[in-house]
Structure 1
Amino acid sequence: MGVFTFDDEFTSTVAPARFFKAAVLDADNLFPKVAPQAAKSAETVEGNGGPGTVEKITLPDGKYVKQRLDSIDHDNFTYGHSIIEGDVLSADIEKISHVTKFVASPSGGSIIKVTTTFHTVGDAPVDEAKAKEGKEKAEGLFKLVEGYLEANPSAYN
């Protein structure tokens, strides 16, 4: 198995605790509202919401992904999850893992640090264009959440 890791950072005007509550703890409710093009619905297929929980996310085009919650740290605003099944995985990718941490920035907002690890089958390389596309989608989703939080200052306090 090949392992390829990418580190990315995004900035936000929203404080880490508030961003974490919205984008992590209430993602199943918020994402279909702010990004209907990214997620139609989410349902728990295994687990109780803690590490090991598996969710099936249905996309607007009928495709799906299953993701497993690997870790969550409410005190440090960090969580990890892995895409373990679905239409976004190619025959060459076993899973894609993400660890996301929301850190306070000097300006009072957040620095969102994301480590993405592609676990490939055999010696298969990672498609760099697909990795870049994934990063751009994540950044777009973070910006949509940020916009929602800025427009709704009393939400997720």
Structure 2
Amino acid sequence: MGVTTATHEFKSSIPAPRMYKALLEDSPTLFPKIMPQYKSKVVQGDGGVGSILETCFPDEGNQVKIVKHKVEAQDPANYYAKYTVIEGSPLSDNIESVVNERKIEPAGDGCVVKATDHYHTKGGAADKAMIDAIGKQTTTVYKLVQDYLLANPGACCA
């Protein structure tokens, strides 16, 4: 078994507390407002640690179509979250599991969203093209969230 790690960064003009709330606390209710074609729901739990969330990304061209993930850690004070993909299209014959870490760091008046994904493979290396496509899809979602927050200054305020 091997591990392939990919890191993607997104610089935003949104302050870290607000971006954390939008991306890592309110996503099941916020994402469908921003992207009506996306469906997100809490399948088990209250959305906190131990909960299982399901998100569907039905757009044609998306590498990931559906994903269920378990929330492993949430640290709002440090703008950090960790979750494990337990079911869905990122998993394949070669990918056994994916552990996602999100760290949002304050940067001036805005923030930097750091996404680190650990692809645990059953054999060889993970497909780089797939990892790049997932990274692009992830940063596209961050951009859409940022645009929504800029247009809706009262949304996701702590």
Asked if these proteins are the same fold (TM beyond 0.5), I'd say yes
**CA–CA separation in structure 2 for the residues paired with 1:58 and 1:13:** 27
- Deviation, 1:102, is 0.8
TM superposition shift of 1:50: 2.5
Q: Distance in 2 between matches of 1:151 and 1:2?
A: 43
Q: Distance in 1 between matches of 2:134 and 2:75?
A: 24
- Counterpart for residue 55 of structure 2: 57
Alignment match, 1:72: 74
Query: What CA distance in whole angstroms lies between the structure 1 residues aligned with 2:66 and 2:142?
Result: 20
CA separation in 2, counterparts of 1:5 and 1:143? 22
**Are residue 17 (structure 1) and residue 9 (structure 2) matched?**
no
Separation in 2 of the partners of 1:116 and 1:36?
A: 26
Q: Which runs of 5+ in 1 are unaligned?
A: none
Which is further off, 135-144 or 80-89?
A: 80-89
Alpha-carbon spacing, 1:132–1:48, altered in 2? closer, same or farther (3 Å): same
CA distance in 2, matches of 1:54, 1:94: 18
TM norm structure 1: 0.89
Runs of 4+, deviation exceeding 4 Å:
none
Q: Quick check: 1:102–1:113 contact (8 Å CA) kept in 2?
A: yes
Contact between 1:10 and 1:139, CA under 8 Å: does it hold in 2? Answer: yes
Query: Is contact 2:15–2:106 with CA below 8 Å preserved after alignment?
Result: yes
Aligned to 2:48, what secondary structure does the other structure show? coil
Please give the residue correspondences for 1:4-153 in structure 2 after superposition, counting only pairs within 5 Å.
4-37=4-37, 39-44=38-43, 46-60=44-58, 64-106=66-108, 108-121=109-122, 123-153=123-153
Q: For 2:3, what is the secondary structure of its paired residue? A: strand
Q: Distance in 1 between matches of 2:110 and 2:125?
A: 36
Give the drift of 1:156. Answer: 1.6
Distance in 1 between the 2:116 and 2:56 partners?
A: 24
Counterpart in the other structure of 2:62: none
- Conserved? CA contact 1:42–1:58, under 8 Å: no
Deviation for aligned residue 1:27: 0.1
Contact kept? 1:84, 1:94, Cα under 8 Å: no
CA RMSD of aligned residues (A): 1.6
Question: Is this contact kept in 1: 2:9–2:112, CA < 8 A?
Answer: yes
Contact 2:42 2:51 in 1 (8 A): no
**Partner SS state of residue 132, structure 1:** helix
Query: CA offsets per residue over residues 29-82 of structure 1, 9 Å max, x none?
Result: 111121234x223232x3343322112223437x53211101100101110111
SS in structure 2 of the partner of residue 75 of structure 1: helix
